[in-house]
A and B are shown apart, each in its own frame.
Chain A
Amino acid sequence: MLTNSAIRAVQLGVKSLLLHKLRSLLTALGVLFGVSSVIAMLSIGEGGSEQAQEQIRQLGSQNVILRSIKPPEDPVSNQQVRVLDYGLTRSDLERVRDTFPWATNVVPVRQLQQEVRSGENVLNPRVLATTPDYLAVTGRVVGQGRFLEPIDERMVANVCVLGYEVARRLFPFESSVGKRIRIGADYFTVVGTILPRVPLGEDSAKPGEEITGEVFIPLATGRRWFGEIQVKIRAGSRDMEQVQLHEIIASIDIPENVPVAAAAAREMLARNHRNHDYEMVVPLELLLRAEETKRIFNIVLGSIAGISLLVGGIGIMNVMLATVTERTREIGIRRALGAKRKDIVVQFLVETVVLSMGGGLAGVLLGVAIPTYVEWRYDMPTIVEPGFLLLAFGISVGVGITFGLYPAWRAASMDPVEALRHE
């Protein structure tokens, strides 16, 4: 019985709204755009921030990364200095190893500028001289064969592990494991390959950065064959650089200790490197910052969406007030025929809610369509969570009730005698 009368109330509401099709449509548009913009903005925002967070997470959320950077050049002294000596040193590495109780793994990385070739295939990947722990610290996964082992380090073995992209380019048609390749002037045996990072979207690498273009060799081997001085030949000049370590990655035991370790590392570096030839990357801090950014972004989005829904709601209220005035006589008739105030309130409230819910439903459809189109057309990741749809739809119903109450109350509080006399 209750459901029956509810269905009848909705039917009556729809009928009354269809009496003024254009007016109802235009009124619902306000809610439609409000709701669809909420969903679209949330989805696109969520997609973007998810992508950013995933990139940060790939750096290792429990890592503290120290990097060598070229100090700001001193134009006067530059002429005389023949070998530019800067960056992290092996003593930095020892210090981190000895004094960071929170570090479970400390991995040094040297980056070498060397040509890699196999037969006629020549590449210029990043040649990274590092220790076996690199794999664990960065969360990379072995594809074929194995990664570097401690024995390689002790034996100063001429072995290498290829990144996915390098392996594919050097040996397009066969397995690279067991093959010999040339790095610089020396021959190395390929002992394994590692998989690319989990791909995100179509191309997760930033322009110019070939994430998988990597070759790994043992740290000691790198030092033996390539020394510490690297010569960069540019047009008209030869730059010589001496960098002991390009990167030190310290893996911290629990996330809570990351800020402590980061502070300690910062202090240590500041003391030992007065010329600021280093930088620190703390993915966890970046992550927190990204989350904070996202929070602010959501507040801004929420305000915009709230305003647009408010405007939509006011539009609805305006139209409903006009409708109530227009239908004063109908209200009088219904009251004379036995309708209680409550019945009149329900009637007009149902009409408003049907209107805003119609707009809300259409808004949900449009709100899903927009991110889908954006993803397809602009290749931007978007995430449409079911929660967004529920939220937006719930808001539209809420808007209907909020802005429908006053007109409905106005209708119900009319004096039947006056209402019947209304022309």
Chain B
Amino acid sequence: MSAAETTAVAQEAVAELEDVTRVYRMGDNEVRALDGISHRFEAGEYWAIMGTSGSGKSTLLNILGCIDRPTSGHYRVRGTEVADLSDDELSELRGRSIGFVFQSFNLIPQLNVLENILVPVLYQDVVPTDIEDRAAEIARRVGLDTRLDHRPAELSGGQQQRVAIARSLINEPDLILADEATGNLDSRTADEILALFDELHSEGTSILLVTHEPKVGQRAEKILQLADGRVASIELGSGGGKC
């Protein structure tokens, strides 16, 4: 890799959408879930993606998370064109670059906390030798260090979501994708989780928060409003001040 290219990489967006369209076929009808979205998410930014249900939030999230592909247009993660990748390469990209946090936590019930945090590591070709120490360190950071051998069923919702956040961080991804991460939590626990995101953001992690709750969206640095599969507006959130 030449010096010029290295510089180019540094200036690349974490995730870049270019005229992305996603069309679902439902029998004879075509549903345009995303209709020509173009947007750049820069490194270290904290975005909230908002919109009513049916606005294309989930579809956008799936594409940003590389578990779905655009029908047309381009999506690049750190300059890598997703459309060109095989299924295996896409899986690799997900494991390496994306950290998922889901609404329903989505932990694996038969594994304990430490093992759940380490799941993304299982699918990496190269694993640092001190990965278990790092997992414990991350668990400490999200406040779970005393419960490493508990099963998910033995944890509260907030604790489960902390495990999921720890899991999303283990491979040091380029981007954390949180899908209604506080949707299943009471407001106090939700605040704690959002505080954790604030903390991660202040440490330089790029975060994309998908939500339909204005209160949650306001915590982000910037807010992208979706309507009918298009970008309706871009606003500033309250989280900007912390940057």
Point out residues on A near B: beta carbons under 8 Å: 5, 8, 12, 15-16, 18-19, 329-330, 332-343, 416-417, 420
Which of B62, B102, B123, B171 touches A417 (beta carbons < 8 Å)?
B62
Instruction: List chain A residues, Cβ under 8 A from B80.
Output: none
A333 neighbours in B (Cβ, 8 Å): 102, 106-108, 119
Answer whether residue B122 sits at the interface, using C-beta atoms and an 8 A cutoff. yes
Beyond A338-B123, A340-B88, 5 additional contacts (C-beta under 8 Å) are A15-B110, A19-B109, A336-B100, A341-B88, A417-B68
A343 near B106: Cβ-Cβ < 8 Å: no
**Chain A residues touching B, majority SS:** helix
Query: B95 contacts A330, CB within 8 Å?
Result: no
**By the criterion CB–CB under 8 Å, are B110 and A338 in contact?**
no
Kindly list chain B residues whose C-beta atoms are within 8 Å of the C-beta of A5: 122
In the assembled complex, B53 has its CB within 8 A of some CB on chain A? no
User: Min CB distance, A350 to chain B, in Å?
Assistant: 13
**Alpha-carbon distance between A408 and B111 when the two chains are bound, in angstroms:** 20
Cβ of B123 and Cβ of A339 under 8 Å apart? yes
Distance from B175 Cβ to chain A, minimum over Cβ atoms (Å): 13
Contact B67 A8 (CB under 8 A): no
A338 shortest CB reach to chain B, Å: 2
The answer on a CB contact under 8 Å between B119 and A334 is yes
Which among B92, B106, B111 has the greatest number of chain A C-beta atoms within 10 A?
Answer: B106
CB of B75 to closest CB in A, whole Å: 15
Cross-chain contact of A416 among B67, B119, B167, B171 (Cβ < 8 A): B67
| Residue of B62, B87, B88, B100 touching A337 (CB-CB under 8 A) | B100
**B91-120, CB < 8 A from A:** 91-92, 94-96, 100, 102, 106-111, 119-120
Chain B residues with CB under 8 A of A417: 62, 67-68
Please judge, given known A-B contacts A15-B110, A417-B67, A417-B68, whether A338 and B88 are in contact too, CB under 8 Å: no
| Interface contact A338-B91, CB-CB below 8 Å | yes
Q: Which residues of B contact A339 (CB under 8 A)?
A: 91, 95, 122-123
Task: Classify chain B: how many residues form its interface, as a range.
Answer: 20 to 34
A-B contact pairs, 11 of them (CB 8 A): A15-B111, A329-B106, A333-B119, A334-B108, A337-B120, A337-B167, A338-B95, A338-B124, A340-B88, A417-B68, A420-B67
Q: Mark B28-60, 1 if CB is under 8 A from A, else 0.
A: 000000000000000000000000000000000
Tell me, in angstroms, the Cα distance from A45 to B87 when the chains sit together.
53
Nearest Cβ on chain B to A330's Cβ, whole angstroms: 6
* A342/B94 contact (C-beta < 8 A), A19-B110, A336-B100, A420-B106 known: no
Q: Separation in Å of the B183 CB from the closest CB of chain A?
A: 15
Most chain A CB within 10 A, of B91, B107, B110, is at: B91
Question: How far is it, in angstroms, between the C-alpha of A19 and the C-alpha of B62 when the chains are bound?
Answer: 31
Residues of A within 8 A of B70 (CB): none
Cross-chain contact B67 with A16 (CB below 8 angstroms): no
Say if the beta carbon of B65 comes within 8 Å of chain A.
yes
Number of A-B residue pairs having CB atoms within 8 Å of each other in the complex:
69
Task: Give the distance to chain A from B123, nearest Cβ to Cβ, in Å.
Answer: 4
Bound Cα distance from A8 to B121, whole angstroms = 12
Q: How far is the CA of A91 from the CA of B194 in the complex (A)?
A: 115
Q: From known contacts A15-B111, A341-B88, A343-B123, infer whether A335 and B67 are also in contact, taking CB-CB under 8 Å.
A: yes
| Chain A min CB distance to B55 (Å) | 17
Are A342 and B119 within 8 A (Cβ)? no
> Do A335 and B91 touch across chains, with their CB atoms under 8 A apart?
yes
Most chain B C-beta atoms within 10 Å of own C-beta, residue among A8, A341, A343, A417: A417
Q: Is A330 a contact partner of B108 (Cβ separation < 8 A)? A: yes
State in angstroms the CA–CA spacing of A3 and B68 once bound together. 33
Nearest Cβ distance between residue B31 and chain A, in whole angstroms?
Answer: 14
B108 close to A338 (CB less than 8 A): no
Nearest A residue to B168 by beta-carbon distance? A337
Closest chain-A Cβ to B122's Cβ sits at a distance in Å of 7
Cβ contacts under 8 Å, A329 to chain B: 106
Residues of B within 8 A of A8 (CB): 122
A16 nearest in chain B by CB position: B110
Q: Is the CB of B119 within 8 A of A337?
A: yes
> Distance (Å) between the CB of A413 and the closest chain B CB?
10
Q: Tell me the smallest distance from the CB of A351 to a CB of chain B, in Å.
A: 11
Q: What is the CA–CA distance of A271 and B108 in the complex, to the nearest angstrom?
A: 87
Q: Which B residues touch A330, using CB under 8 A?
A: 108-109
How far, in whole Å, are A8 and B96 apart by their CA atoms in the complex? 21
CA distance in complex: A8, B111 (Å): 12
Contact of A336 among B65, B92, B96, B107 (CB under 8 A): B65
Q: Does B108 lie within 8 Å of A336, measured CB to CB? A: no
A8–B68 Cα gap in the complex (Å)?
A: 29
Cα distance A116–B21 in the bound complex, in angstroms? 111
Contacting residues, chain B, for A343 (C-beta < 8 A): 91, 122-123
Contacts of A18 on B, CB cut-off 8 Å? 110
Q: Please give, as numbers and ranges, the residues of chain A lying within 8 Å of B123 by CB-CB distance.
A: 334, 337-340, 343
Docked Cα-Cα span, A12 to B68, in Å, equals 28
In the bound complex, residues from chain A placing their C-beta under 8 Å from that of B107 are 333
Complex interface bits, B150-168 against A, C-beta within 8 A gives 1, otherwise 0 = 0000000000000000010
What is the bound-complex CA distance between A19 and B108, given in angstroms? 12
A416, B111: Cα distance in complex, Å: 20
Cα–Cα, bound, A338→B120 (Å): 6
Q: How far is the CB of A334 from chain B (nearest CB, A)?
A: 7
Chain B nearest Cβ from A335, distance in angstroms:
7
Residue of A nearest to B87 (CB): A341
Interchain CB contact (< 8 A) of B92 among A332, A340, A420? A340
Q: A416-B67, A417-B62, A417-B67 are in contact. Are A338 and B106 (CB under 8 A)?
A: no
Q: How far is the CA of A351 from the CA of B88 in the complex (A)?
A: 22
CA distance A16 to B111 in the complex (A): 9
Q: How far is the CA of A340 from the CA of B85 in the complex (A)?
A: 13
User: Is A338 a contact of B67 with CB atoms below 8 Å?
Assistant: no
Please, which residues of chain B bring their CB within 8 A of the CB of A416? 67-68
CB distance from B82 to the nearest CB of A (A): 14
Q: Which of A336, A339, A340, A343 has the most CB of B within 10 A?
A: A336
**A160 CA to B67 CA, complexed, in Å:** 97
Alpha-carbon separation in the docked complex, A285 to B168 (Å): 76
